[in-house]
Chains A and B, each alone.
Chain A
Amino acid sequence: MGSDMTEQAIASARAGQADAPQGSARLYTLALLVDDRQGAVDRVVNVLRRRRANMRTLVVGPSEEAGVARVTVVVDDAEVGVEHLSEQLRKIVDVRQVLLFPAGRAIERELALVKVNCTAANRSEIIELGQHFGAQAVDLAPETLTLQVTGKGEQVEQLLERLQPYGIRELARSGCLAIARDE
Chain B
Amino acid sequence: MTTTATVTQESGDARRASAHATDEARELAGSHILCEALVREGVELLYGYPGGAIMPFYDALPAYPRLHHVLVRHEQAAAHAADGYARATGKVGVCVATSGPGATNLVTGLATAYMDSTPVVAITGQVGRPFIGRDAFQETDVLGLTLPITKHNFLVRHVEELADVVHEAFQLARSGRPGPVLVDVPKDVQFAKTVYRPAASVRSIELYRATRVPQPAPEAIQQAARLIAQARRPVIMSGHGIILSNAYAELRALAEKTNIPVITTLLGLSAFPVDHPLFLGMPGMHGPAFVNRAIGVTDLIIGVGLRFDDRVTGKVSEFAPQAQIIHIDIDPSELNKVKPAVVPILADAKAALAALVEAVEPGNHQGWLSELRQWEAEEQERARRLSRPVPYPTPTDILDAIYEVTDGEATVVSDVGQHQMWTARFYKWTRPNSHITSGGLGTMGFALPAAMGVKMGRPEATVWVVAGDGGFQMNIQELATLRDEGVEIKVAIMNNGYLGMVRQWQEFFHQRNYSETPISSPDYVKLAEAYGLTGMRVERREDVQAAVQQAMQTPGTVIIDFAIEAEANVYPMVPPGAAITDMIIERE
* Chain A residues within 8 Å of B, Cβ to Cβ: 15-19, 38-39, 42-43, 46, 50, 80, 83-84, 87-88, 90-93, 96
Contacts and interface: CB of A to CB of B under 8 A. Distances in A.
Contacts of B209: 93, 96
Contact of B147 (A17, A18, A43, A83): A43
Contacts of A83: 336
Contacts of B210: 93
Interface string B205-216: 010011000000
Nearest to A50: B148
A87 B333 contact: yes
Contact of A93 (B144, B172, B337, B339): B172
Contacts of B143: 38-39, 42
Contact of B337 (A18, A42, A50): A18
Interface in B103-158: 143-144, 147-148, 151-153, 155, 157
B316 interface: yes
Given A16-B338, A18-B339, A39-B155, A91 B333 contact: yes
B555 interface: no
Nearest to A92: B152
B172 A18 contact: no
A46 B152 CA distance: 12
Given A93-B206, A93-B209, A39 B153 contact: yes
Contact of A88 (B151, B172, B333): B333
Interface in B170-220: 172, 206, 209-210
Given A18-B340, A39-B143, 16 more contacts: A15-B317, A18-B338, A19-B336, A19-B340, A38-B157, A39-B153, A39-B155, A42-B143, A43-B147, A46-B148, A50-B148, A83-B336, A84-B337, A87-B332, A90-B333, A93-B151
B336 A18 contact: yes
Interface in B205-242: 206, 209-210
Contacts of A15: 316-317
11 contacts: A15-B316, A18-B339, A39-B155, A42-B143, A42-B144, A42-B147, A43-B147, A46-B148, A50-B148, A88-B333, A91-B332
Nearest to B310: A16
B331 interface: yes
Contacts of A93: 151-152, 172, 206, 209-210
Nearest to A16: B316
Interface string B510-553: 00000000000000000000000000000000000000000000
A100 B540 CA distance: 64
A18 B327 CA distance: 14
Nearest to B155: A38
B170 to A, nearest CB: 13
Contacts of A92: 152
A149 to B, nearest CB: 37
Contacts of B336: 18-19, 80, 83-84
A90 B210 CA distance: 11
Nearest to B181: A93
Q: Which of B331, B335, B336, B338 has the most CB of A within 10 A?
A: B336
Contacts of B332: 87, 90-91
Contacts of B172: 93
Contacts of B152: 92-93
A16 B151 CA distance: 23
B333 A46 contact: no
A136 to B, nearest CB: 40
Nearest to A18: B340
Contacts of B153: 39
Nearest to B151: A93
Interface in B301-360: 316-317, 331-333, 335-340
B203 to A, nearest CB: 10
A44 B437 CA distance: 31
Contacts of A50: 148
Contacts of B316: 15-16, 18
A88 B332 CA distance: 8
Contacts of A80: 336, 340
B114 to A, nearest CB: 12
Contacts of B144: 42
Contacts of B148: 46, 50
Nearest to A87: B333
Given A16-B316, A16-B338, A83-B336, A39 B147 contact: yes
A83 B335 CA distance: 10
Contact of A46 (B147, B155, B337, B339): B147
A82 to B, nearest CB: 12
Contacts of B335: 87
A18 B317 CA distance: 9
Q: Which of B143, B337, B338 has the most CB of A within 10 A?
A: B337
A93 B205 CA distance: 10
Interface in B461-491: none
Per CB-CB distance, the 9 closest pairs between chain A and chain B, nearest first, are A87-B333, A93-B152, A18-B340, A87-B332, A88-B333, A46-B147, A19-B340, A18-B336, A39-B143
A42 B150 CA distance: 13
Nearest to B152: A93
A40 to B, nearest CB: 11
A159 B209 CA distance: 44
Contacts of A46: 147-148
Nearest to B153: A39
A158 B77 CA distance: 59
A63 B143 CA distance: 25
A159 B336 CA distance: 41
Contacts of A91: 331-333
Contacts of A18: 316, 336-340
A80 B210 CA distance: 25
Contacts of A16: 316, 338
A161 B473 CA distance: 64
A39 B142 CA distance: 11
Nearest to A47: B148
Contacts of A42: 143-144, 147
A88 B333 CA distance: 6
Q: Which of A19, A39, A80, A96 has the most CB of B within 10 A?
A: A39
Contacts of A96: 209
A87 to B, nearest CB: 4
